[in-house]
Structure 1
Amino acid sequence: MLVRRLLSTCLFAGLTAACLPAEDKAPAPAGGEVKALFNGKNLDGWVNVNCAPGTFYAKGDEIVTTGNPTGFLRTDRQYENFELDFDWMHVEKEKMANSGLFVWGDPLPAVGTGYTRGIEVQVLINYAPKDGWATSHGDIFSIWGAKCTPDRPHFKGIERCLPSENRVKGGGEWNHYKVIANDGAIKLHVNGKEVSGVSKSNPRKGYLALESEGVECHFKNIKIKELPSTNPTPAECAKVAEGHVSLFNGLNLDGWKAEKGGWKAGGGIVRAAGTSDLVHEGTLPNGGALLFDWKVPAKSAADLTLELAGTPVTVKAEKPGAWQRTQVLLTPKAGGSPVAFKPVTGLEVMNVFAKELPAKK
């Protein structure tokens, strides 16, 4: 008999600061020492959240991103107040080249995007919109539900601080950023001078991350000095990592199988293009959880059907045309829980993660 049930969709609910691991609860010493955030050999201390294995890599004394797919590489622990120094260089010399530093971010991307909720410190060259709403000089702004107040009000009323002057060098040249973050305020120094800032940020404690956004970018000399805590409330802290592992590399169907042409992958999204199932080639943890974002076209009346260990599960489209996040609990079964997505015309899926759930006492 076909088993069919509706599952409610839900935003990923991370732990609050009150539940932080001991590492994240401990306040930074008053005279914090300068520490390297990159060991110059590999990406130990960093987590590739939602990109292909080769999107970020260590090369000599640099962290390099290819820019493809879009996504981010985050620290393996949270930071609150700090002074962060790093150098960055885009290799593109003529076309727009984009990347960024995410401050106080969540461990997973926001719904329907490859990027985290947080405050972005722009790493950008060769961009000059005619109306001047943004620059290539070191903008700071809130993204994907975070909040902040720019030091200088933006003429469009958005939460974005435009820099006071242009000190950013072009492609093939190294730029130095000093980011001072304290009590919800961020000040950015570009090549030796403060040019932009925000305050009243929320979150004001979270992960630091480097952004992949379509082009090659290099980072080096990444060093941090932690400053004393200013005691953020749980509501002012980013969510805490819960052990989610990405199942989709954003580029291709490695780790999945489908009939040729049945599903298309790229740009961080996999799309249904035929009538075959999209089947994960591994098995997920017994008693774990599967989390993913998905949408169907705005005029579609279709819902989404998964097959979990041979059992069909239907998830209702809450608002066709909009991204929604679903978490499905995996019933323990011998050998793990294989997963398959059933094709629906126009179906798009991204941010596919799995995690193990704590054993019940």
Structure 2
Amino acid sequence: MKYVNLFLSFVLVVGLLSSCKSKNKPAKEEAKAEKGWVSLFDGKTSTGWRGYNSPAFPNAYWEIVDGCFHCRGIGKGDMTNTDLITEKKYSNFELSLEWNISQGGNSGIFIFAQEVPEKPIYMSAPEMQVIDNQNHPDAKLGVNGNRQAGSLYDMIPAVPQNAKPAGEWNQVGILSDNGRVVFKLNGENVVTFTLGTDEWKQMCANSKFKDWEWFVNTAKEGHIGLQDHGFEVWFRNIKIREL
């Protein structure tokens, strides 16, 4: 009986140690996954952001509320200095954020934006579409859904189309690696493209951007932008990891 008790005690100790290791493992993996990520928005101030083609933050059009950038939706939607851009430019990176669009709303997330004088941000920057698929008419236009949420606007539709409806939070991931770009929406890869390739140039030729030199020859380094399209939209938990 003594040896049986010793054996059972040994099994219990091994089991407890294994349990502790299994509990600690996810925490270590989570810490490793977060390594290198930097917050682009502290949820309280506009530090690190300003208006496109402007040295100032467009306070009349954006506010910070409940840890979010909130676009008030009072602009005309095609102004040249009410979109937000990062003060810093980025080339190879992983971007993560969440967005929530108002009913009937339209907005976008831009990458590689260049500040072209007196021209809107979308003249130079590819856009991940942010839109209410059910209620904004632009979502019904384009080809095969390439103006719906998560799409490379007017070029590549998001597949699968998994956007959540207006009033709900959508999670975005954007990977940029030496010209290759992947859009992720709500945990799924939905768009992939590579800048400067023959395929890219052909897509541009078949889109509304065909005559826009800055867009066709998109830079591989630029500002990250959030669009004021004249509708209410919220962005939060914005962070980046440079590669």
Quickly name the TM-score band, shorter chain normalised: 0.5 to 0.7
Equivalent of residue 59 in structure 1, options 58, 62, 65: 65
Structure 1 residue 161: deviation in Å?
Answer: 1.2
Structure 1 residue 107: deviation in Å?
Answer: 2.8
Q: Which amino acid aligns with 1:124?
A: I
Distance 1:61 1:40 in 2: 4
Gapped regions of structure 2 (runs ≥ 5): 1-33, 134-138, 197-217
Maintained 8 Å contact 1:42/1:57? no
Equivalent of residue 96 in structure 2, options 85, 90, 96: 85
**Richer in helix (by share):** 2
Aligned-residue CA RMSD (Å):
2.3
Distance 2:88 2:142 in 1: 40
Q: Which amino acid aligns with 1:125?
A: D
Q: 1:38-77: CA deviations, max 9, x gaps?
A: 0111101101236853212211211111233234110011
Structure 1 residues 110 and 132, CA, compared in 2 at 3 Å: closer, same or farther?
Answer: farther
Counterpart for residue 220 of structure 2: 204
Q: Which amino acid aligns with 1:211?
A: Q
Greater RCO between the two (CA within 8 Å, min separation 6)? Answer: 2
Total equivalences in the alignment: 176
**Richer in strand (by share):** 1
Q: Which amino acid aligns with 2:187?
A: G
Q: Which amino acid aligns with 1:140?
A: L
Please say if 1:184 is aligned against 2:192: no
Structure 1 residue 122: deviation in Å?
Answer: 1.0
| Superposition TM-score, scaled by structure 1 size | 0.45
Structure possessing the higher radius of gyration over alpha carbons = 2
SS for the counterpart of 1:140 is: coil
Distance 1:132 1:48 in 2: 33
Distance 1:180 1:198 in 2: 11
| Superposition TM-score, scaled by structure 2 size | 0.66
Distance 1:129 1:42 in 2: 37
Distance 1:114 1:200 in 2: 18
Q: 1:271-293: CA deviations, max 9, x gaps?
A: xxxxxxxxxxxxxxxxxxxxxxx
Percent identity, aligned pairs only, is 26
Maintained 8 Å contact 1:32/1:226? no
Maintained 8 Å contact 2:148/2:158? no
Structure 1 residues 32 and 182, CA, compared in 2 at 3 Å: closer, same or farther?
Answer: farther
Please say if 1:33 is aligned against 2:52: no
Gapped regions of structure 1 (runs ≥ 5): 1-30, 142-158, 228-361
Structure 1 residue 116: deviation in Å?
Answer: 4.9
Deviates more, 1:128-137 or 1:170-179: 128-137
